[in-house]
Structure 1
Amino acid sequence: MNDRKIELLAPAGSFDGMKSAIHAGADAVYIGGLLFGARAYANNLDTEGMKRAIDYAHIHGRKLYLTVNTLLKNNELNNKLFDYLNIYYEHGLDAVIVQDIGVFQFIKANFPKLAIHASTQMTICGVEGARMLKDMGASRVVTARELSLHEIKEIHNQVDIEIESFVHGALCYCYSGQCLLSSFIGGRSGNRGRCAQPCRLPYKVMKDNKQINSTNETYVLSPKDMCTVDLIPDMVEAGIDSFKIEGRMKKPEYAAGVVRIYRKYIDHYLINGRKGYQVLNSDKKELEDIFNRCGFNQGYYKEHNARNMITLKEPVKRARNEVLNKELEEYQVLEPKEKINGSLTLSTGRPARLVVKYGNVEAEAWGNTVENANKQPMDKERIYKQITKTGSTPFEFEEVDIQMDDNIFIPVQSINELRRNALEVLQNKILKQYRREDAFLRKTDYINRNIELKGKPVITSFNVYIEKESYLTEVLKFREVQTVYIDVNMLEKPIDYYINLCHQAGKKCFLSLPHIFRNTKKISSFNYQDLINEKLDGFLIKNYEEFDYLKSLYDKKELVLDYNVYTFNQMSHSFWMDNHISYDTAPVELNYKELLERGVKESELIVYGYLPVMVSAQCVHKTIEGCDKNSTKLFLKDRMNKQFFVRNHCKYCYNVIYNCQPLVLLDYEKEICSIKPKSLRLNFTIEDTKDISAIIRKYIDSFIYHKSVKNDFEDFTRGHFRRGIE
């Protein structure tokens, strides 16, 4: 028998969903309130509903985690977050799930007794990221869904932190937290809980202006749902502590049905081990009937990516299993009862006394005085029947010891009142264990940092990011370029070659590290000596793992944070600056006014480029053409005939989808200069080499020399600089 405790964590998109999950056997539920949750369109609970849900979970010995897993703007963090959380904190909320590092710091400062779970939106992919969050104070890390069992086991073996991983439900095509597709094409940001799921739409895969996917296999970004019930022994032994089911947007019947099957097999394994572990086909069929997209896959636990993980075909609406659905609906109606014991004392001439006990919690109530019976005395059987009528309360008596004198009388109404009082006292004492009263708003040094804008705005140079070697010659022609970020995926020669070219032209040379840092051995095989090369000026960092891996070099190299390690608010920005980041990159989803409020004097602002809108473990090239370890130029054409460039980076095995239009902020020279960013950046990724010089010249003339420059880009976007996101 395995003594290890495994938590089964269920989604709750409503109060009924929470009840259903708890009744079916969930140890904990995660749920959203009215603010700051990654499912803004779920039936989220209002304040009273949330308090009621917290109490309901605690009465039944379960836990409730609140999703605060979106990025917060400056005014939200400063003016709304404390009041929003404080009510639930004092009421006994068990934990919050957090994406924003500023929110993380705020909660740690203001709600020190509240457990913080690092959301999968933080894209934690390895030991380094988990260790960093553990050191910061996280009690749990929710791993990226793309991790293998081997990678999870590495975290378990090397970092003393709880591990929560998704085991069932929908998969995003993109690494969670790295998707801007919905944001850029329609203004509905996944980082704000408003994803429109454009990945679930059909796309033509184009190569050399020809469609290469068949017309009935156009759902190339839509993964099948995950089902890992067969892998429960492997997942437990890999070190997963909390088995998380996806589905806050789904009906309560979904939560109940999935939970009860996973509960069955988790318990089976914990009791019996691997011996005889086998999932019945009827249970698998039931999971399929509850919900699936074109069948199931087993997630990424045993394969990095695969064609069979993608739906490809348009999902067919399954016939509803009415019998199963009706059965699962009962979980919303049923009221589970917690076993209690009681001791009732009825002595003539003394008040009736009832003591009830639930676990270690004991409650006592006194009633009316017991009298001598003038006519028919009360018998023990009648008293027992009356005292055990617990009705709609969450309790039921397992045993009641009745000590009573002979020939007594007490009105039935008095017995009922005594029972009600005792159970009310018991419930209050149970819930009181969870209450907190010590929260108060702690003023920090973060709030007003980075906002002062004195002096005349001056832009004297640009930094340039490149993903192709042929761009370098063009970039080095301009004395106004100060720093060149060399993407690690483009390196075809020893790194000294690129450093020397940059230095000879009077430029700094930074190495831009991979979007995803899955395995330190892959970077190490690139040659760690290159990373600490004395000539290399710094690094552009794109994830928590890279920062933790390189943080000891801060006194020798400049460490710069890219925009996909989000710093939406001053507190998140200040966290990184206090941890020896030289400067960060301003969030691309904030508009002009929000950037002004946040402050960008210690931040770089991207003013040109085809920005990545998806970074994935899945590979479009492999799905459609098969894996040949070669980078291939593909495009995804949507229903509006917009084409999104796709690049597969084989060295580190991840896929990048770029926006269909370049970001062009050439027209906003005055506004951008007025907010005084530390530096401006041009991103060159998929442009023709012949166009690089002309683009650089336009920006230099406009921003440095203040010349009137014509914006003659034919198809471009201004991103969120004006419109912003909700």
Structure 2
Amino acid sequence: MTTDATPELLSPAGNWDCARAAVAAGADAIYFGLPAFNARLRADNFTAEDLPELMQFLHRHGVKGFVAMNTLVFTGELEAAAEQLRLIASAGVDALIIQDLGLAKMARELAPEVELHASTQMTITSPEGLRFVESLFPLDRAVLARELSIREIERFPQSDTTPLEVFVHGALCVAYSGQCLTSESLGQRSANRGECAQACRMPYELVVDGETTEMGEVRYLLSPQDLAAVDVIPDLVRAGVKSYKIEGRLKSPEYVAAVTRVYRKALDAAIDQTESAVTDADRYALEMTFSRGLTSGWLAGTDHPYLTHGRFGKKRGPLLGTVTEAQNGWIRLDVPPDEQSPPLKAGDGVVFDAGENRDLEQGASIWKIENDRIIFHRTYSGINFDRIRPGVTLYKTSDPALESEIRKFWKNAKLTPKKTALHLTVEGSPGSPLTLSSSFEVERSTFDVRCSSETPLQPAANRPLATETLIAQLGRLGDTDYELASLDNRLQGDCHLPLSELNRLRRQLVAALQSDGARTSVRPGTPAATTHHHLLPPSTSHSSPATPAEPALSVLCRTLPQVEAALEAGVQIIYCDFEDPRRYKDAVALKSGSDAGLHLATPRILKPGETGYLKLIERAAPDGLLLRNLAGLEYYKDRSEFVKTADFSLNVANPITARVLMESAGLDRLTVSYDLNISQVLDLLRGAPADWFELTLHQHMPLFHMEHCVFCTFMSEGTTYKDCGRPCEKHVVHLRDRVGQLHRLQADVGCRNTLFNGRAQTGARFLPALLDTGLSRFRIELLDEDRDAASRTIGAYQALIRGERDPADLLEEVTALEKLGVTEGTLR
């Protein structure tokens, strides 16, 4: 575990230029990806060949390098992932940022000398969730979910626990990281695999009780403004946060340089407990380099409209004013009476916000400014001035002069290599050589250097070697990579040695330091094991059992009438996932006289102080639990009286992750990750015992699971659940996407919203192949079906798994039942 408590500024780097910009601007560390297993596959990323040179460059300048391997790893990729871990370890990388629990286990085995950081993709939202991960393997850092407030962060223990990292600037995902299935469900581009399609930045219509709500220019209902926590850095330092992370591996080196140097100022001032040196010009630079509007995100607490205004999803920049007059080629602005209005000059880029389709909005560079008229070139600007009318707002989108200044800053910066501190020991006595020695660590490698004078020490007649003389001569290290930090003078008696010999010793010491022979121990703890195979389940050759278990169907219900339909159909395992867990006791009461098992689902997210929901579930006396988060695993891991199933949100995508969870959380079964297609599902089932798993055969895929409440933001005048009037309890709400598809929106007990795919997903066609692996547990999940529709859907799938119905016939019936259609979705 990391012990250095000094706060660290962590900057993104998608390429070499961004790495140099981050170093020039004062980053303590950078994080970057390789071509595989990172959540920003669209970034340039570094290659395996780049790694040694990159790490040498970083370490020479006192900067650490972290590799992001923050995606899920599929069964067929374990060998490639193991090879990448070995490569990373050999290149001297300082830390790994990892999402997949199985990959993290591999990293501790194959690269124990590299720090292990739990990615925000692990969805660590509470101290209990962090404790569970800490119980699996030693952890050097945890990157917390971006939805936590400072008060919630303060509830994480600050001693005897893992150091914490928090995002402080950049784009915000509307969904909890690691819990977004939108890109996967709608386009087979998984966000958990680095292929986010940014569906949250698209326009949506709000449909309430079947009627489309007229909302004018408010169409970007799921697009948060960007995070800028520069003003709360002192609060985060007081909360004990170790690392301050800037988002932006897809951004330019100018963005990296500008943002890093502003946060360098803010963090240094917070560490020194002095007034922040961040200026209005710095804030302007933050807004100009990239922003969709800047907020402090969730750090200051819940204020839903503050985070997501819904008017645009693209880069904006600062507001310049409102158009008061527009002629062919020029405009006048009504500028707000604010001394901090952004500067405006010829060459700056602007965009006109007329509340129209953002794909059609107009923008151009300013040609010149005359008095109060802003003039555009009539030919080359491309602006249709017939569309520019008074009342249109104008935003500044680019500042070439600022960009040029930032570019010159990072390109021309003289990067001074960080010198290694030498702690020297001087020993000897008259008649013996003078001996210099230094033992220290560089990049987790131990160096032990020792050299002796060629001539022995002589008794000093009148001017013995004093400590001051030794420091003066041995400290003359000039342009070398070293500087004298301390000198321990252990000379015995009054000794003399010519200064020329001291100078020769100094040069000999430097030469020895720079030689490979100085290294006496390379990375203690490097394991003898060179494979990950011992981490796999005991047997990985799982053929179909001689007597396969009878296929069984479980049903997840979201209403009491659905529970009644499942009981009436004789379903043996019924999962309940209610918005209000206080109604769970009513569901358990319904099974009176039935031998069905009632299993209750935990919320997807538990934040600090929310374990009371788990106690409420426990008091309902269920037969089993559907565990959906790390905190739930920790809370119930020693409770054997419940049948425990880990849900899809735990992201089980390979046999090592499956084994880690089964053994560490005391689980009875696992739900197969929704990120897997059918071939990857089959690989998983062949790589671990099939009787560990349950597969969801029918469902409305949960697209976004988010702290952002659409109900509160766009259907009330409130800011939190305290004053929103609870429209979620009074209305049926859908969001209509750009292609006309309706998606159901629901809130949970914590006011978190889930947007469900309007089209149901079925894996009926793949049932024979799944049965061949020995898999016998299948689930269907109901959404908003009434009792009759629920009964028909349950009956159709019961007949399918009994072999009484052909998948094609089932598809026709289920399609008729599902008003918005059916797809094979992620399994395809």
State the TM bucket, normalised to the shorter chain: 0.7 to 0.9
Quote how far apart the aligned CAs of 1:33 are: 1.1
Deviations 1:326-348 (A, max 9, x none): 222231453333357999xxxxx
Partner of 2:574: 484
Give, in whole Å, the separation in 2 of the partners of 1:356 and 1:389: 18
Counterpart of 1:702, as a letter, is: L
Change (3 A) 1:683 1:357: closer
Partner of 1:313: 311
Counterpart of 1:284, as a letter, is: R
Give, in whole Å, the separation in 1 of the partners of 2:568 and 2:208: 33
Counterpart check, 1:697 vs 2:795: yes
Change (3 A) 1:562 1:250: same
Change (3 A) 1:457 1:215: farther
Where do residues 212-231 of structure 1 align in structure 2 (5 Å cutoff)?
Answer: 212=213, 214-231=215-232
Where do residues 677-716 of structure 1 align in structure 2 (5 Å cutoff)?
Answer: 677-708=775-806, 709-712=809-812, 713=815, 715-716=821-822
Counterpart check, 1:337 vs 2:417: yes
Judge conservation of contact 2:126–2:156 (CA < 8 Å) in 1.
yes
Judge conservation of contact 1:363–1:425 (CA < 8 Å) in 2.
no
Counterpart check, 1:120 vs 2:120: yes
Judge conservation of contact 2:70–2:98 (CA < 8 Å) in 1.
yes
Partner of 2:692: 602
Counterpart check, 1:531 vs 2:613: no
Counterpart of 1:658, as a letter, is: F
Counterpart of 2:750, as a letter, is: Y
Give, in whole Å, the separation in 2 of the partners of 1:54 and 1:603: 42
Choose the corresponding residue for 2:561, options 470, 479, 482: 470
Give, in whole Å, the separation in 2 of the partners of 1:426 and 1:328: 38
Quote how far apart the aligned CAs of 1:591 are: 2.2
Quote how far apart the aligned CAs of 1:230 are: 0.5
Change (3 A) 1:597 1:173: same
Give, in whole Å, the separation in 2 of the partners of 1:282 and 1:359: 41
Counterpart of 2:99, as a letter, is: Q
Q: RMSD between aligned alpha carbons?
A: 3.4
Give, in whole Å, the separation in 2 of the partners of 1:59 and 1:482: 63
Where do residues 46-445 of structure 1 align in structure 2 (5 Å cutoff)?
Answer: 46-77=47-78, 79-136=79-136, 137-157=138-158, 160-212=161-213, 214-273=215-274, 276-277=275-276, 279-293=278-292, 295-314=293-312, 315=314, 316=316, 318-329=396-407, 330-334=409-413, 335-339=415-419, 422=511, 425=514, 438=527, 440-442=529-531, 443-445=533-535
Give, in whole Å, the separation in 2 of the partners of 1:503 and 1:668: 35
TM-score, length-scaled by structure 2 = 0.75
Q: The residue matched to 2:168 in structure 1 has which SS? A: strand
Quote how far apart the aligned CAs of 1:458 are: 5.4
Counterpart check, 1:637 vs 2:736: yes
Give, in whole Å, the separation in 1 of the partners of 2:752 and 2:124: 15
Counterpart of 1:324, as a letter, is: L
Where do residues 637-656 of structure 1 align in structure 2 (5 Å cutoff)?
Answer: 637-649=736-748, 651-656=749-754
Deviations 1:454-496 (A, max 9, x none): 23655443111111122111111112x1111111424454x44
Partner of 2:356: none
Q: The residue matched to 1:474 in structure 2 has which SS? A: helix
Counterpart of 1:108, as a letter, is: R
Give, in whole Å, the separation in 2 of the partners of 1:470 and 1:450: 43
Give, in whole Å, the separation in 2 of the partners of 1:325 and 1:173: 29
Give, in whole Å, the separation in 1 of the partners of 2:783 and 2:270: 50
Quote how far apart the aligned CAs of 1:161 are: 1.1
Give, in whole Å, the separation in 2 of the partners of 1:22 and 1:105: 31
Change (3 A) 1:431 1:542: farther
Deviations 1:4-36 (A, max 9, x none): 510101111112211211121111111111211
Counterpart check, 1:549 vs 2:635: yes
Counterpart of 1:307, as a letter, is: P
Change (3 A) 1:68 1:181: same
Give, in whole Å, the separation in 2 of the partners of 1:459 and 1:321: 67
TM-score, length-scaled by structure 1 = 0.84
Give, in whole Å, the separation in 1 of the partners of 2:616 and 2:111: 43
For structure 2, list consecutive stretches of 5 or more residues without a partner in the other structure.
317-350, 352-395, 425-435, 453-472, 486-497, 717-723
Counterpart of 2:791, as a letter, is: S
Q: The residue matched to 1:18 in structure 2 has which SS? A: helix
Counterpart check, 1:41 vs 2:138: no
Counterpart of 2:297, as a letter, is: G
Give, in whole Å, the separation in 1 of the partners of 2:420 and 2:535: 50
Give, in whole Å, the separation in 1 of the partners of 2:521 and 2:45: 25
Structure 1, 307-316 or 633-642: larger mean CA deviation? 307-316
Change (3 A) 1:504 1:519: farther
Aligned length: 667
Give, in whole Å, the separation in 2 of the partners of 1:46 and 1:710: 48
Deviations 1:688-717 (A, max 9, x none): 333111111111111114333342215111
Give, in whole Å, the separation in 2 of the partners of 1:663 and 1:211: 25
Give, in whole Å, the separation in 2 of the partners of 1:192 and 1:261: 31
Change (3 A) 1:162 1:396: closer
Change (3 A) 1:445 1:26: closer
Judge conservation of contact 1:115–1:139 (CA < 8 Å) in 2.
yes
Change (3 A) 1:706 1:338: same
Judge conservation of contact 2:192–2:675 (CA < 8 Å) in 1.
no
Give, in whole Å, the separation in 2 of the partners of 1:166 and 1:428: 42
Give, in whole Å, the separation in 1 of the partners of 2:278 and 2:89: 40
Counterpart check, 1:562 vs 2:647: yes
Give, in whole Å, the separation in 2 of the partners of 1:63 and 1:475: 56
Judge conservation of contact 1:92–1:435 (CA < 8 Å) in 2.
no
Change (3 A) 1:429 1:15: farther
Judge conservation of contact 2:185–2:701 (CA < 8 Å) in 1.
no
Quote how far apart the aligned CAs of 1:449 are: 4.0
Deviations 1:617-661 (A, max 9, x none): 001111111222242421111111111111122x31211010121
Q: The residue matched to 1:86 in structure 2 has which SS? A: helix
Change (3 A) 1:542 1:159: farther
Q: The residue matched to 1:593 in structure 2 has which SS? A: helix
Counterpart of 1:578, as a letter, is: E
Give, in whole Å, the separation in 2 of the partners of 1:466 and 1:158: 42
Give, in whole Å, the separation in 1 of the partners of 2:253 and 2:608: 38
Judge conservation of contact 2:112–2:526 (CA < 8 Å) in 1.
no
Structure 1, 425-434 or 322-331: larger mean CA deviation? 425-434
Q: The residue matched to 1:267 in structure 2 has which SS? A: helix
Counterpart of 1:489, as a letter, is: E
Change (3 A) 1:340 1:619: closer
Give, in whole Å, the separation in 1 of the partners of 2:593 and 2:88: 59
Judge conservation of contact 1:69–1:100 (CA < 8 Å) in 2.
yes
Change (3 A) 1:426 1:224: farther
Change (3 A) 1:527 1:198: closer
Give, in whole Å, the separation in 1 of the partners of 2:519 and 2:297: 39
